[in-house]
Structure 1
């Protein structure tokens, strides 16, 4: 396969080495318009927008991933395999599980559990544990401390289910120390591992399974996601 790929219509060289990847393509547009200079749209297949530009004079790209492991696996695979991308940083919201995290907190995903069957493609005689690249994780954690952001580091769950039909299985994940739930990171980490690339997930807790009386409003979500976006840009723009 050559570029453009079936799902990305960018030209060769349009993407920088590091891509920030929110789930929502409109969030990618928001980042490009509000944080980047010299931002240019480089892909728009199926409305999945991607941009390249500069942050404080340094190169960075941003592109939506859609929702769920199947979606992010397609875009990350094509970016890694055909566009020379080395690092993908998932940035998004998550639902808190642990008493140790609160709404508004930033979580850096050291590892990503999953209830998905995605790993079966590797035909392993066991269970693969999808983890972040340590250098990306360490750099982000240190930058968070520098910026005064109290980031929590730990395990998240990448769930195939957003609506779990009344299940309280989340409590079992919580009991194993899982901090929060989202829907993509395990697939991203597996793609990165299989292609010898690097990946990291950074999240803002937007709601909580225990502290259910605290949910971010749309305005609050925008402000707090801005903190996470700034952390990612300050760490990874090159």
Structure 2
């Protein structure tokens, strides 16, 4: 039987760009260029490696987001994933991590799975809670924050590196795992991969397809939301220290005044 791997990926604003909020204090995704979350690239890479080691496997990449989130799917498909699933619905605007886990769980159940692979966190929200929420909703084991992962004989095993100890973990499939940025460098899409990604199937789903109501998700259904935000002040000119023989003393005085030393 083919091993069914689902990788959850997210389309996020480029961290190098200028990110802003909209009037309802949700992320303004039109104000900045978007891309596949870098931490999710590690998840795609590990899923592909597991697939390559299996006798037979299929890798599906799944995302929830606006129309442009399709770009994240295409990037993952160009890396080598087999097909994509895109959940898009206007009522998803403002959905928090709890609501997103609900949508993902419904989509994963509809797609079918043996193993779900996630990144350790998204580069925009950086909450890192979604894999655990997803495992709870699916009613399967979670093996999270892995720097090494493999699958054999229906069991997923992995290594979790902590500050003071290393844990070796295992769980029976089906299961949810998340991998860290120490799990291995993600591959670059080849020209052939980029071309073939355009021909790979991407299924589109909405809330009706997942038997979900608008009240279950979105900003009104969110358990967490931004209540207030203040724009970061513009940068001011820095302090210039001219070294005329006393530069070292002036620098030390400045650092002490700023409580850096």
- TM-score w.r.t. length of structure 1: 0.29
- TM-score w.r.t. length of structure 2: 0.28
